Amino acid sequence: MPNLLSRGLFNLFFGARRKALQGLPGPQPGVLGNVGDFLGVPPWDVCARYGREYGGVTLVWMGPSPALVLNDPSVIEEVMETRRLEFEKGNVNEQVRPTVTDDTSFIAKQGEDWAGKRRTDPMAQPWSGDWLAAQVGPLRASITRSLEALLTQGPLDLTPALRRLTFDALAVTLVGEHLPDPAYDDFMLLAKGADARIKANLPLRFVRFPKGYEAAKTRYYGQFLERVRAARRTPTPGGQDLLSWTLREMPEMDDQVLAHLLGSSFYGGVFSCSTTLVGAFHQLQKSPDAEARLAAEAAALAEAPPSWEVLRGARWTEAVAYEALRILPAVRIFTRTPSADTKLAGVTLPAGTTLLISNQHLHRDPAHWTAPDTFDPSRWLDGGTARDPLGSGHFFPFGRGPRACVAAPLAMVFLQTALATLAARARVHVDSTEPFEEDFFFGVVLPKGVTGKFVARPVVTARQSVG
Ligand code: HEM
């Protein structure tokens, strides 16, 4: 709590602003507002604490500017769904734009800019479900190949190991094959450039790109453009990757736009999916029964031809993925900003007020979940996924409403295939079950210091594992 002088100074300078928002609970601001609460603490932990201490809507001050932290599902629904056009998305658009390009819906402005981009996004087409259903086999093959390399290695930092596995697997779904190492290096360099801009305390014009950024960008997106042109010249008959599907189904799509969409998809998927896997294996290390049940189901799946139908029937694998997304969501903070003065939560908010929405508190709200801090995949069985569907009030790892993650279905197929493929052949041993340190990279939670190794399992047939 700021001292009396600090609180007095804040009121002296900004008392009128405060009065306009009186009625909203929140911590006492000092001369710098409540910025101190966020120093050295992950912002999602602060938002969750506010939820516990002040309820669904908390007023905080970022220096002289008000911000609301939303933990009330119905207010979040207004902002992200029913009145979403009144609230511009996030404040990292300019930070990530050079890396993800202008063609992705991710940084589009609300309204027609976003709607137009989403309409032409290959992942949001009537045929996208058929493309996705065809990815189980290629994903399984890619993950098996990555696992074979991981099994030959000693102790590992699991975050970068699973990040590369994810990059390779997504490459197969997007362009039909793995990309060479230099493409991964370019991908990471561009991500670091964006991340430095997200974290900078300086105006962006003072933030330097890492050395070699422009050349890496030219190479990174250039390779996708070459692939698009080559695939147009010589289509792969029956090609199941997104590039082949898009050229068949949407031949009018501009080559450059498609190259940008393919390249930028990795930014949406690689960090978020791999962070989720790290969280899942960390939790499974603490839950031997859940791990054993996953291994048994995975052994049965490994004996069946890889298909969408078979994967869909693997209810425990799905439950493990859901539970990892609940207890350790990879994307934990969303921001929105009213474009004009607007009424919300009983007060008039000035245009530009920051709204911080975090799923962390609601995903573990004891008023909603039984034993919320326990990793218990069984909560998702027997109607659990229908009680708390993706995008509902207490479970929104992919966001909420029409602007929720366009690739959530791909992420789910990836996560389930990865969990099943890895668990069938190996046990992912995690060295420590203590909570790991959570950093932030490219807007996504970054697990730090989660070490472990992949230990080959004796080959168990489904019959043995069940009987
Ligand atoms: C576990 C994995 C993933 C998580 C947790 C996740 C989470 C999210 C969230 C929370 C949003 C909405 C953000 C907001 O409303 O402010 C979002 C949007 C988006 N995600 Fe994902 N995502 C994942 C995987 C992916 C993958 C695999 C891709 C691409 C291949 C992707 C591409 C996108 C794009 C393009 C958007 C913007 C959608 C729009 O504004 O229309 N994501 N994601």
Percentage above 70 pLDDT, the chain: 98
With residue 66 as reference, give the H or E element that holds it: strand 65-70
Q: Which of 356, 358, 405 to mutate to test the pocket of ligand 1 (most atoms within 8 A of CB)?
A: 405
Q: What is the pLDDT of residue 201?
A: 83
Q: Is the CB of 128 under 6 A from ligand 1?
A: no
Fold classified for 72-466: Cytochrome p450 (1.10.630)
Mean pLDDT value of segment 156-178: 98
Q: Is the CB of 403 under 6 A from ligand 1?
A: yes
For the CA of 106, the nearest atom of ligand 1: 37
364-374 burial: b if 16+ Cβ within 10 Å, else e = bbeeebeebee
Mean pLDDT value of segment 144-159: 96
How many Cα neighbours within 13 Å face the side chain of 375? 23
Q: Is the CB of 272 under 6 A from ligand 1?
A: yes
- Per the annotation, binding residues for heme are 405
CA of 96 to the centre of ligand 1 (A): 14
CB atoms within 10 A of CB 386: 9
Percentage above 90 pLDDT, the chain: 90
CA of 265 to the centre of ligand 1 (A): 9
Residue of the nearest CA to atom 19 in ligand 1? 405
Q: What is the pLDDT of residue 93?
A: 87
Q: What is the pLDDT of residue 461?
A: 53
Mean pLDDT value of segment 436-455: 97
pLDDT at residue 166 is higher than 70 = yes
For the CA of 108, the nearest atom of ligand 1: 40
Mean pLDDT value of segment 102-116: 94
Check if the beta carbon of residue 390 is closer than 8 Å to that of residue 397: yes
Q: Is the CB of 90 under 6 A from ligand 1?
A: yes
- DSSP, collapsed to helix, strand or coil, labels residue 120 as coil
Q: pLDDT, tens digit, for every residue of 130-146?
A: 999 999 999 999 999 99
Q: Is the CB of 399 under 6 A from ligand 1?
A: yes
Residue of the nearest CA to atom 3 in ligand 1? 272
CA of 132 to the centre of ligand 1 (A): 16
Residue of the nearest CA to atom 43 in ligand 1? 405
pLDDT at residue 459 is higher than 70 = no
pLDDT at residue 155 is higher than 70 = yes
CB atoms within 10 A of CB 154: 5
CA of 299 to the centre of ligand 1 (A): 30
CA distance 35 to 48: 16
For the CA of 415, the nearest atom of ligand 1: 1
Confidence of residue 158 (pLDDT cuts 50, 70, 90): very high
How many Cα neighbours within 13 Å face the side chain of 112? 0
Please state the pTM of the whole predicted model. Answer: 0.96
Q: Is the CB of 407 under 6 A from ligand 1?
A: yes
CA of 311 to the centre of ligand 1 (A): 22
Residue of the nearest CA to atom 6 in ligand 1? 398
Q: pLDDT, tens digit, for every residue of 245-258?
A: 999 999 999 999 99
For the CA of 411, the nearest atom of ligand 1: 27
pLDDT at residue 465 is higher than 50 = no
Cα angle value 329/332/333 (rounded, 5°): 165
Mean pLDDT value of segment 246-273: 98
Q: Which two tokens stand for residue 18?
A: 């405060």
pLDDT at residue 387 is higher than 50 = yes
Residues 6 or more apart whose CB falls under 8 angstroms from that of 176 comprise 138, 236, 239, 240, 241, 243, 244
pLDDT at residue 462 is higher than 60 = no
Q: What is the pLDDT of residue 466?
A: 39
Q: Is the CB of 338 under 6 A from ligand 1?
A: no
pLDDT at residue 460 is higher than 80 = no
Mean pLDDT value of segment 113-117: 96
Check if the beta carbon of residue 428 is closer than 8 Å to that of residue 320: no
Residues 6 or more apart whose CB falls under 8 angstroms from that of 67 comprise 59, 60, 61, 353, 354, 355, 356
CA of 245 to the centre of ligand 1 (A): 21
With residue 365 as reference, give the H or E element that holds it: none
Distances from the Cα of 83 to the Cα of 74, 87, 105, 117, 411, angstroms: 12, 7, 19, 20, 27
Q: pLDDT, tens digit, for every residue of 280-300?
A: 999 999 999 999 999 999 999
Distances from the Cα of 216 to the Cα of 165, 187, 190, 211, angstroms: 21, 8, 7, 9
The amino acid at 292: A
Q: What is the pLDDT of residue 273?
A: 98
Q: Is the CB of 400 under 6 A from ligand 1?
A: no
Q: Is the CB of 115 under 6 A from ligand 1?
A: no
Q: What is the pLDDT of residue 8?
A: 82
Distances from the Cα of 174 to the Cα of 42, 241, 245, 269, 361, angstroms: 33, 5, 10, 11, 34
Confidence of residue 5 (pLDDT cuts 50, 70, 90): confident
Mean pLDDT value of segment 78-94: 92
CA of 272 to the centre of ligand 1 (A): 8
Strand segments, DSSP code E, in 114-245 are 156-157
Mean pLDDT value of segment 117-122: 96
User: Beta 354-358 vs 65-70: how paired, if at all?
Assistant: parallel
